Structure 1
């Protein structure tokens, strides 16, 4: 991928390299699970690190950071006179309304969707179909073992929900609101979000790697599902910092960016001294005008208007909110001063050592059990991962063959590092990263510990890293599964198998 932004040392951009080094060391601790980290000041990259096997220029799922892009699309439509913020949501879909909608549904507007204040007492979900697993997320229409059903009408389901409270009064984090914004834009323009944003945002910013999940009706899901590289996300963050201006052109009126990034509603959380603030699909900090788009497990961009700087994070950790808290607190203190050359050199070294920990233990050539089980094929009991058979080859170079139904692939396994391969499945634009457990782009690492083989698979376009601890027996196999983060419990279920004759 071509580098878009100029690179420079922190001191050249007026940033104290010593303080930035301290911050980056903190953020790059394993508990924060970073996959990529970027800082820009005055439009120049002053620090970037990519955690192998995650690579520079590689697309990565953004989860709810997607919401910011949907909001920007709505503001473009507002600028072009396609809609108004106080237009009724129901007015766009007269063909899908019950007769009549409840009064609060009739009062719900585009503005209420943007500020996450629809009036629902709980985020709407659709659980019409039997499912076998608990769901631990707040995203609509996604649960384990889910297959999209063409007859499920997401817009119709939303409009048929009872709205208990007056819209605009209470904050409720609701991804269905953002989906409805996407559906409104598609109905007005005849284009999905990707098509709508391409000439208005993506082409001017030279963002070429965008991909977005769609619902069964072909509508981009809006509230999640967008994938971009770290540098493409940095372009968007810089566009926000510059209040819609890019390369001398005012693409989007600055007043709309200001509205989006200012507090539109207060969030009163029990136990917090001060309420949180939310703009149009972004989180707003009370001090210094800092705001951010935040996605599950560590996807984020953060804009520091007073410091003329932005930060981008991609990752996979349950502790990501703590990492963002540290970032927002410490980065502004690094701006306006200059550190020494030694600290800048240490920053370069820190970036060069960034990596995801590979599987730890002995290589196969040092493990006596390895030769005994090398080449054996095991049929697997039905499981949520969809794997039907597995076979390992152990030696100077380890490999694993995975079978999913009629498809199979052979992946190299790195020793003390990751090696890249492809899982045996075909992805499409309707796959949901919330409940999907296996992905195509993968990198593997393996080692032996206490007579068991540890296979670690990093899905390099996702936040997920799976660990398989494999115990071989005389005639079978037991795989203990685990994952760094996730929305469904079945990612951690054991898998049993028997040796094929």
Structure 2
């Protein structure tokens, strides 16, 4: 975990001119709509007025941002453009000539930085999976080989591969890896010393996914955008780029399943979504950096939930309270509520001295471990040691959380006996995801199921390694 040097000043809601009751109402709405939040930070007039983490999540712990990573890659592109190393009309085939297939189409040869940033290359759907299957060793080449369904620049289709290519273009023109470039130009000047990146098998950062930051770092990024790229007395990102990147460039089409989500239907910028109020960077399962310039407001959220429900709660509950000053007593009530935030522990008994062993049933799609894995539970240090055959051991506590990191990334776990069953929640704590382990001692069987399937696949062992390294197969 990182050091806790504050990036932003703190202020009570009443002092900053925002109603603490509106913040409390937003928390209630999220709970009513079954959104599992992991953290929230509200910044008004440049000051943090509310912050909270649902235990076992905590302030110093970086959290996987999924596609919110794309907004940071956009800033890297803007910095390369400001340095004169890249331009919006630069073509992929010119910047990455060694990745161009010999049979590249005329349209493929016309794709520019602008088309990638606005996701208007012209593919009919997200090209990531198909491009990877076509060219397992070269995603850029696969992207350029795929057929196009619309003229470039005319139709927005959410496409992870576009951001992967942008990351490679930034690296080519700067001579630096994307993480190193952003460390030097953005994170270190802001005082962010805990950026972590998941990587593809070659060692390169995904670019479209895989950045881990603390909630305060996400909020500080939103505040940087709100200030037009200025941080203190330094202009870290050109104001012109911030305005261009966070402005609307193209209409958004409905999602493939036909669903309508209001804050994903307002248009798309350069790796930012336009919202009903302001704009936001967005990652799967509710990772959000929301910026509302009209209200001098930034909200950062990490979660395992539905993003539109998070945004609805902001607009319906929080926004009406901006400019409505509350009282000191209301602030104290909110502060106490924020201090007590926690995800529920597994109910049941400790049953000290009891052991069990079982074989894992992996028939369910959400299974986190291979079929037939031997699982053993033994009492240890007031809790249990859970052994997954020759894979790894984890520590589990009763009535509290216990952390272990057998493969590099931490897992925080709590469990209990419920009759003849041992039940434990295993939080892969730097991600939105957890595994529910259930061992039926009488039957000798066990299941280990993800609460939500990680987009990089179900293999728990993979997600416990740091950095996570895989092919670019995020759905």
In the superposition, the TM-score normalised over structure 2's length comes to 0.87
The answer as to whether partners of 2:73 and 2:166 remain within 8 angstroms in 1 is yes
Change (3 A) 1:141 1:53: farther
Cα distance 1:217–1:456, how it changes in 2: closer, same or farther (>3 A)?
A: closer
- Is the contact made by 2:127 and 2:160 (CA closer than 8 Å) also made in structure 1? no
Aligned partners of 1:114 and 1:404: how far apart in 2? 46
The number of residues matched between the two structures is: 447
Q: Report Cα offsets for 1:221-279 as digits up to 9, x if no partner.
A: 11001011111111111111111011111122211111111111111326759843111
Aligned 8 A contact 1:112 1:168 in 2: yes
**CA apart distance, 1:388:** 4.0
Call closer, same or farther: CA 1:268–1:167 in 2, change over 3 Å: same
Shift of 1:105: 1.0
CA deviation after TM superposition for structure 1 residue 449, in Å: 2.3
Give the corresponding residue for 1:67.
70
Q: Is 2:409 aligned against 1:419?
A: no
Task: Could you tell me which runs of 5 or more consecutive residues in structure 2 were left unpaired when the two chains were aligned.
Answer: 461-475
Q: Can you list the C-alpha shifts for 1:349-397, whole angstroms capped at 9, x where unaligned?
A: 11111011111123324xxxx73xx1x5556578752594332124882
Corresponding residue of 1:250: 235
Report what 1:408 is aligned to.
392
TM-score by length of 1: 0.83
Distance, in Å, in 2 between the alignment partners of 1:384 and 1:37 is 28
1:113 aligned residue (116, 123, 143): 116
Partner SS for 2:267: strand
How far apart are residue 302 of structure 1 and its match?
0.4
Whole-angstrom CA distance in 2 between matches of 1:483 and 1:41? 36
1:177 is the counterpart of 2:174? no
Q: In the aligned structure 2, how far is the partner of 1:245 from the partner of 1:408?
A: 46
In the TM superposition, residue 100 of structure 1 has moved relative to its aligned partner by: 4.0
2:19 aligns to what?
16
Please give the alpha-carbon distance, in whole angstroms, between the structure 2 residues aligned to 1:291 and 1:380. 45
Any idea what the Cα deviations from partners look like across 1:291-349, whole Å, max 9, x if unmatched? 101101111110010111101001112x2321222213432211112112221111111
Is the contact made by 1:119 and 1:164 (CA closer than 8 Å) also made in structure 2? yes
* Aligned partner of residue 453 in structure 1, secondary structure: strand
Q: Which runs of 5+ in 1 are unaligned?
A: 128-139, 143-149, 427-439, 494-501
Query: Counterparts of 2:150 and 2:105 in 1: how far apart (Å)?
Result: 11
Equivalent in the alignment of 1:449: 418
How much does 1:4 deviate?
2.4
Contact 1:454 1:469 in 2 (8 A): yes
Kept in 2, the 8 Å contact 1:104–1:165? The answer is: no
- Conserved in 2, the CA contact under 8 Å of 1:126 and 1:157? no
Structure 1 residue 158, shift from structure 2 partner: 1.6
For residue 161 of structure 1, report the CA deviation from its aligned partner: 1.7
**Distance (Å, rounded) in 1 between the aligned partners of 2:347 and 2:261:** 44
Q: Write the distance in 1 (CA, Å) between the matches of 2:324 and 2:189.
A: 33
The 10-residue stretch of structure 1 (483-492 or 48-57) with the greater mean CA deviation from structure 2: 483-492
Judge conservation of contact 1:34–1:316 (CA < 8 Å) in 2: yes
Any conservation in 2 of the 1:18–1:340 contact (CA below 8 Å)?
Answer: no
Residue 477 of structure 1: which of 429, 444, 461 is its match?
A: 444
Out of 281, 301, 311, which is 1:313 matched to?
301
Q: Using the TM superposition, give the Cα deviation of residue 217 of structure 1 relative to its aligned residue in structure 2, in angstroms.
A: 3.3
Please give the root-mean-square deviation of Cα atoms over the aligned residues, in Å: 2.7
- Aligned residue for 1:277, secondary structure, equals coil
| Contact 2:140-2:165 at 8 Å conserved across structures | yes
1:236 aligns with 2:221: yes
Match of 1:85 among 83, 88, 98: 88
